[in-house]
Amino acid sequence: MIGTVRWAYAKAMSLLRTQANLDNRLDEIQFSQGAILAQLARSRQGNKLSDFEFKVFSQWGEDGMIQKLIRHIDIPNKAFIEFGVQDFRESNCRFLLMHDNWRGLVIDASKPHIDSIRKSPMGWRHHLDAICEFIDRDNINELLARGKFGNDIGILSVDIDGVDYWILEAIKECSPRILIVEYNSVFGPDRAITVPYDPRFVRTEKHHSNLYFGASLAAFHHLATARGYSLVGSNSTGSNAFFVRNDQMANCPFPALAVAEAYVESLVREGKDPGGNLTLLAGQARLEAIRGLPVVDVTTGETQAL
């Protein structure tokens, strides 16, 4: 019996090592392909930021958009902070870490995800710190300070599928040259609105639809412009918006845009029914699924019905 248990344990460990080796090999292949794409992108022509999309480790095409911006914007402190990264296998800034040798701080609320990052080769091959913490507006500044990167960093990327607007509003001691935020395209291009603040907001628990989270692009534009940033584009999927600090706009190859110029209606159909099944709702039907839920107009502070 003991021999059988030992054999089963050894077999399980062997399978785990095999899986880890496969994951590492896949990472190497993705990185090699990304390095080629980054080189090819240098000769690409385009009039807007999304023309330079390519995907290596990002969810959509943010890797290419970031590469385009950092080739033009002066960034002495090559450091990024990104939160809402899960296990960091898919993220906006991972390619920067591996390809451009940036330093990074990532934050996620899941201990298994953070443990996975710390145990991965990224943990010793690169300067990557990982913090396990549920972010709220009372702890965000202390968490950012742990990175010890200073205020003038290269990139801050915000994507927690929740009270992103309120967290960004609470940040006081961080002035990235490039700011990336995920906006909720379902909220439309016109209203500057966000979900009300809840320090324990979890998207999948707040409303069964999976569509009630975050803030509109107009809300982020309202906050970012007040802090000295210009909106320079959105990815073609309609999820991430890019802002550049105004003192760097002279080097930016893209002009400042109004919300209506940068907004992209997302075609992603991630809505769910009360049983957790995908509904595949599209277009205006997604907004109707969350109609009447409370939102805050960030220009007036008034709570309204969506």
Residue 242: closest CA among 49, 102, 82, 83: 49
Q: Select from 3.40.50.880, 3.40.50.150, 3.40.50.300, 2.40.110.10 the CATH code of 47-305.
A: 3.40.50.150
Q: What is the pLDDT, as a whole number, of residue 171?
A: 97
With tokens 């379902």, the residue in question is: 186
Q: What is the pLDDT, as a whole number, of residue 39?
A: 81
Q: What is the DSSP letter of 202?
A: -
Domain ranges of the chain: 1-43, 47-305
Residue 233: closest CA among 209, 200, 255, 201: 255
Angstrom distance (rounded) from CA 155 to CA 283: 32
Residue 140 burial by CB count (10 A; 0-12/13-18/19+): exposed, middle or buried? Answer: buried
Q: What is the pLDDT, as a whole number, of residue 7?
A: 47
Phi and psi based region of residue 301 (left: phi greater than 0; alpha: psi -120 to 50; beta: remaining) = left
Which runs of E-coded beta strand occur in 21-175?
79-83, 103-108, 128-132, 155-158
Q: Do the beta carbons of residue 235 and residue 64 sit within 8 Å?
A: no
Q: Do the beta carbons of residue 285 and residue 179 sit within 8 Å?
A: no
- Local confidence pLDDT in tens for the 306 residues of the chain: 555 545 444 444 454 445 556 666 777 778 777 778 788 778 889 999 999 999 999 999 999 999 999 999 999 999 999 999 999 999 999 999 999 999 999 999 999 999 999 998 888 899 999 999 999 999 999 999 999 999 999 999 999 999 999 999 999 989 999 999 999 999 999 999 999 999 999 999 999 999 999 999 999 999 999 999 999 999 999 999 999 999 999 999 999 999 999 999 999 999 999 999 999 999 999 999 999 999 999 999 999 999
Q: Do the beta carbons of residue 167 and residue 140 sit within 8 Å?
A: yes
The predicted-structure confidence for 100-120, as pLDDT tens digits, reads as follows: 999 999 999 999 999 999 998
The predicted-structure confidence for 9-45, as pLDDT tens digits, reads as follows: 444 445 444 555 666 677 777 877 777 878 877 888 9
Residue type (1 letter), 123? G
